[in-house]
Amino acid sequence: MGKITDPIYEQVVKRNAQEPEFHQAVKEVLDSIEPALEQHPEFVEARIVERLVEPERIITFRVPWVDDKGVVQVNRGFRIQFNGAIGPYKGGLRLHPSVYDGILKFLAFEQVFKNALTGLPMGGGKGGSDFNPKGKSDGEVMRFCQAFMRELYRHIDADLDVPAGDIGVGGREIGYLFGAYRKIKNVWHGVLTGKAPEYGGSLGRPEATGYGATWFAESMLKHRGVKDGLKGKVVAISGSGNVAQYATEKVTQLGGKVITLSDSTGFIVDNDGVDKKKLEFVMHLKNVKRGRIKEYADKFKVDYYVYNEHKDIKSPWYVPGIEVALPSATQNEVDLGEAKALVKSGCLAVSEGANMPCVAHAVDLFIEKGVSFGPGKAANAGGVATSGLEMSQNSLRYSWTKVEVLDRLHKIMDNIHETCVTTAEKYGSPGNYVVGANIGGFLKVAKAMLAQGVI
């Protein structure tokens, strides 16, 4: 880090003991922003960073609900309103047994910078509960959501805090949460995003993250002088869920060839590429049938591997010949060994579709070896950007067509790329998108905080 940020980090660790995820997220940002602080003594004097690492508000509450057997269950609910300097707090709700303050603080902190990078007026927040939706009936999920909203409604509103989905919170949960809010408050406010188009949701939201991460990869390639971008490139994608599916669709539309897809059991390698018809099969398999990716290999007679079983091809990243990688499954899925394999293949660009899929050492290696590396904060910001567009449509009482939404999204992703490039250059790290994204997001929030005085 450096002499300005070192003591701040020490204080964060002391104040937030037992929260390693939060420490990691803060460290990654503080590591990058020292050059910006050297050029902006006014931020140091106003102790902007000390304020930035402290959430504005943490709300914790009891969520009692009754299960199908008539037994009362008690979960813990959270909402972290981390920073609202540039707009209403915005960030998802996560329902997962692992949820606790440290995870939500890390996610909310990240969200502050990601949202700032979109250029839309959105602050950062995150929330959720340790409730586990797996194995629960529809009725139980509905009663939990209603109980959760019976407290959360006091703390959110269209101009205050607009939650969205995250792990364990999809269309069904957003519907129950929205219904509960509307019933309690007796108003129709765009208080949640990720709604279905029938009641105020934005068209283009399902495509947004995958398309955005692909456009970001295309921009990185062009910026490094690859004139054709993704056209003719061999691309590895991991996951086969929402982000992976739409990344595959966009890569194919731009003339690239996607040769891998995965799920939590294993991965396929299709050297002919996942074309439109095969992608339709994947979408049906994953979104309707809820099947395993192995069925793709059985159907199209291609190779299928279980992780770490083959002596050389231990994961998608070890497949030879990869020119572009879009890790789009989960956190920490690209370790140092996998990063070395990608470098050896001659990989030109890595665009993070998922949140934090590359471990810190892998990121360092990509940067050292000149692989263009788009961090999730920038590369997967298309999802929250489109949520921001949903807020705008709700305020306008109007719906844009899918073409209009995706056109706006494409421009936003181009702007994020431009911000990363110009900021990294200005602060002495040309080509380093991590520095560009962290300083770019930081400057916007810091200026807004400075303008608003000590609050």
Q: Which stretch binds ligand NDP (CB under 6 A): 66-74, 134-142, 259-267, 419-427?
A: 259-267
Q: Whose Cβ is closer to ligand NDP: residue 219's or residue 328's?
A: 328
Q: How many CA atoms lie within 13 A of 233 on its CB side?
A: 32
Interaction pattern, residues 269-308, with ligand NDP; x per rule: CB under 6 A: ----------------------------------------
- Residue from 16, 214, 260, 380 binding ligand NDP (CB under 6 A): 380
* Token pair of 176 as six digits: 């129950």
Does 75 participate in binding ligand NDP (rule CB under 6 A)? no
Q: Which residue is nearest to ligand NDP (CB)?
A: 241
CB 370 → ligand NDP: shortest distance, Å? Answer: 26
Reading phi first (left if > 0) and then psi (alpha if -120 to 50, else beta), residue 321 is in left
How many Å apart are CA 418 and CA 402, to the nearest integer? 24
191 phi and psi, to 5 degrees? Answer: -90, -10
Pairing between strand 161-165 and 234-237?
Answer: unpaired
Active site residues: 126
Does 243 participate in binding ligand NDP (rule CB under 6 A)? yes
CB 244 → ligand NDP: shortest distance, Å? Answer: 6
- Residue from 355, 393, 423, 432 binding ligand NDP (CB under 6 A): 355
Does 329 participate in binding ligand NDP (rule CB under 6 A)? yes
Residue type, 438: N
Q: How many residues sit close enough to ligand NDP to count as binding (CB under 6 A)?
A: 19
Q: Whose Cβ is closer to ligand NDP: residue 150's or residue 249's?
A: 249
Q: How many CA atoms lie within 13 A of 65 on its CB side?
A: 22
Does 248 participate in binding ligand NDP (rule CB under 6 A)? no
Inter-residue contact 431 to 71 (CB < 8 Å): no
- Residue from 75, 248, 252, 262 binding ligand NDP (CB under 6 A): 262
Does 351 participate in binding ligand NDP (rule CB under 6 A)? no
Inter-residue contact 326 to 215 (CB < 8 Å): no
CB 432 → ligand NDP: shortest distance, Å? Answer: 22
Length of the chain: 455
Interaction pattern, residues 197-216, with ligand NDP; x per rule: CB under 6 A: ------------x-------
Pairing between strand 123-129 and 72-83?
Answer: antiparallel
Does 132 participate in binding ligand NDP (rule CB under 6 A)? no
Q: Whose Cβ is closer to ligand NDP: residue 60's or residue 308's?
A: 308
CB 386 → ligand NDP: shortest distance, Å? Answer: 8
Q: Which stretch binds ligand NDP (CB under 6 A): 218-226, 257-265, 294-302, 339-347?
A: 257-265
CB 239 → ligand NDP: shortest distance, Å? Answer: 4
Inter-residue contact 75 to 95 (CB < 8 Å): no
Helix axes 433-451, 101-117, angle to 10 degrees: 90
- Residue from 84, 127, 133, 383 binding ligand NDP (CB under 6 A): 383
CB 311 → ligand NDP: shortest distance, Å? Answer: 20
- Residue from 330, 392, 399, 415 binding ligand NDP (CB under 6 A): 330
Does 239 participate in binding ligand NDP (rule CB under 6 A)? yes
Q: Whose Cβ is closer to ligand NDP: residue 229's or residue 382's?
A: 382
Residues in contact with ligand NDP by CB under 6 A are: 209, 239-244, 262-264, 328-330, 333, 353-355, 380, 383
